[in-house]
Amino acid sequence: MTNSYKEITEDLQDIIEQIYKQEEFDRLLAYGRGLFSGLIEPVIVDKEAELDLDRLEFTDEAYQMLSKYLLKNRELKQVVVAKPCDTRAIAFYISENIIARDNLIVVGINGCPGIKDNTACDECDSKNPVIADYTAGNLMPEDEFAKDKSDLKYLLSEENQVTRKNHYTKEFMRCTQCYACRDACPVCYCDHCFVESNQPVWLEAGSGPEEDMVFHLMRTMHMPGRCVNCGACEMACPEGIEMRSLTSHLYHQAREYFDFRPGLAVDQKSLFSDYNEEDPEPGFLQQEGD
Amino acid sequence: MRLKKLNSEELIELLEIFFAEYDLIAPFKVEQGRLNRVLFRKIRQNNEIPSIYLKEMPETTPKNFILPRDERLDFERFNSEREENENSLARAKTRLFFGVRSCDLAAIELFDDVFLDEDYLDPFYESRREKNIFIGYSNQILPPNNFQKELEIGYFDHQLAPAFIYEDLEARGREHYWLKIKAGYQFSKDVEAHLDNLETGEIGNLEKLLNDWEDKFTGETDFEIKNKLPFPEKEVFNQVDWQEPTASCLGCGVCTYYCPTCFCFDFFWDGSTKNRAWDSCMFSLFTEHASGHNPREEQHQRWRQRLLHKFSYHPQNYNDKPGCVGCGRCIYKCPVNLDIRNVINAVDKTLVKGGQASEER
């Protein structure tokens, strides 16, 4: 069974109090309630700074991916409160040598009860942390969370190309090119994103269906083997664009064909650097009648 | 001043008359992905009028119509059209924005200060700003995270709106809507004829109602700004710890794109025509030089610019008026719920500590 938000919050407060007493670290990343807004926001504080432990909280609104903030200060020793999807992103960072394991103290959330309005939680296949130094809540038996992905109609894989193109053109028309999806995504961490490149210019300034499509499809193409299916992109989108159907599609395909899910272990090989002669060759490489 | 009382049907009738006369733009509730949003839209057909949704504050503002996200700056065409017909816009209908909150009206006033400045007149803005009527709206619900009162922007009136509509969500029948029309303002004949048929309301009753609402709003948050605006640039620039309150910023442009007062834009060429599109000081490219040097390398420096523009530079240039109207959109649209009030608070506290706080505010 999943844990209640209250249990997790209480556990987290105890654990963090303990960490303050026992551990050497530079910075804490946790969730807390906003002073004026009352909304759940990331609490990012240095060890020396004052912190009211009672402010820390975990609720169904803690949708932000704290793993993303680890990248800003890789050289510091950081304590991070991590949902299971966050721990997968962290394991992925470690497997890619982006961040050192020794620089992290991971407070994982066991039996994650999920995030409100996040459709990724409905198809979540990792409700316990992949790596953790401390854990809040009780571990959830693996067989309790379904691996069934039978009802993923939104993926549009059955639809023909024209329907799909029309759907995404309409959906991406709303894109304001704020790039919040990219900024919120824990595994979008290129030092220099192609949208910010001006030599060559991949993306013309201004809005237009072509520009919107170029951005979203190019981001999608960078995602297979990286996307941990956390849903942060859609949660961040101010226009409610359902771009996760693209990345999620690739996530499920990699799982189906190669039994590959990113961020399951710190020594995992990446999807594209690991090859096996037995691997299926789906898609355009497959000839008719194969 | 005239005051009319209306029920829902009478309001719809009135809007139908507006629709016949003007290009009517009003807020609608729409479902987009996981979001239920309220957006301003141009009305195309009469039967859309009953779906106008006023109760919650719209996510968009008239900014999207007056200073659009993308704009072609075709000076040649623009000038020749102006010459051909001295009043080229006379052909177009007047636009009527219905249901605009007082803070959003204050934002348009702010744009006027910037773009209609005699020395730096923006003809493209000017042409869009001509022939607009705003009808204000208010009800007894304070929009989430709104802090316009702290910036001395009233909830229930604004000089840009010749008429204001108040909705008493608890009342039924003719007490439901109150339409206030400013002294001396006349709508067209058809509208006036319709207005004549409506029941007249007692000003005293409305004032009592609005006082009740205002009392309800006070004490909703602990937020206050102790220092007088503009914030003293030098002290604030150097003394405030900008990193701590802005540490969670992702660097997306959401706060600025949904802000009713942000007006920075980027020029770019499309073939041989010049264009401009909204830009955001939250982006790393915003100040990047051709050499590759960026004077605002870190996100907290970009935040410092955003806050100082709104609370130091803008009030310095425009009679102490802040470059923020306190609508609260940047707070609830932010993908990580970063609250600008926390940052203002950090500045305010630093100034109080440093003895910069003025005696009064």
Residue B133 sits at φ, ψ, to 5 deg, of: -120, 135
Q: Does residue A217 register a pLDDT over 80?
A: yes
Q: Which residue has the tokens 């024209």?
A: A162
- CA–CA gap between residue A199 and residue B288 (Å, rounded): 14
DSSP string of B339-355, one letter each residue: -HHHHHHHHHHHHHHTT
Q: Rounded mean pLDDT of A63-78?
A: 95
Contact B327, B57 (CB under 8 A): yes
Residue A283 Rama label (left phi>0; alpha psi -120 to 50; beta): left
Helices (H), A32-76: 66-70
> What is each CA distance from B145 to A39, B325, B343, in whole angstroms?
10, 12, 14
- Looking at beta carbons, which residues of chain B come within 8 Å of A50? none
Contact B181, B163 (CB under 8 A): yes
- Looking at beta carbons, which residues of chain A come within 8 Å of B331? 37, 39
State whether residue B341 sits within 8 Å of chain A by CB.
Answer: yes
Q: What is the pLDDT of residue B290?
A: 86
Poorest-pLDDT segment among A6-15, A248-257, B37-46:
A248-257
DSSP state of B93: P
Give how far A272 is from chain B: nearest CA, Å.
29
* Strand extents, DSSP E, B162-321: 163-167, 177-181, 199-200, 265-270, 273-278
Q: Does residue A215 register a pLDDT over 70?
A: yes
State whether residue B275 sits within 8 Å of chain A by CB.
Answer: yes
Contact A251, A258 (CB under 8 A): no
Cβ <8 Å between A35 and B341: yes
All residue ranges of chain B with pLDDT < 70 are: 83-91, 220, 355-361
Cβ <8 Å between A183 and B251: yes
Share of chain A above pLDDT 70, in %: 94
Cβ <8 Å between B341 and A240: no
- Looking at beta carbons, which residues of chain B come within 8 Å of A40? 337
What three-state secondary structure class fits B47?
helix
Give how far B22 is from chain A: nearest CA, Å.
27
- Looking at beta carbons, which residues of chain B come within 8 Å of A179? 252-253
Q: Does residue A21 register a pLDDT over 90?
A: yes
**DSSP H or E segment with residue A29:** strand A27-33
Contact B96, B135 (CB under 8 A): yes
Candidates A27, A28, A39, A175, partner chain B, best to mutate (most B CBs within 10 A): A39
Q: Give the pair of three-digit tokens for residue B14.
A: 């009135």
The closest CB to that of A36, out of B223, B266, B335, belongs to B223
Give how far A278 is from chain B: nearest CA, Å.
40
The closest CB to that of A34, out of B37, B335, B337, belongs to B337
DSSP string of B194-233, one letter each residue: HHHTSEEPPHHHHHHHHHHHHHHHTTS------SPSSPPH
Q: Give the pair of three-digit tokens for residue B105.
A: 């009206």
pTM confidence score: 0.91
Handedness of CA A69, A5, A84, A13 (dihedral sign): positive
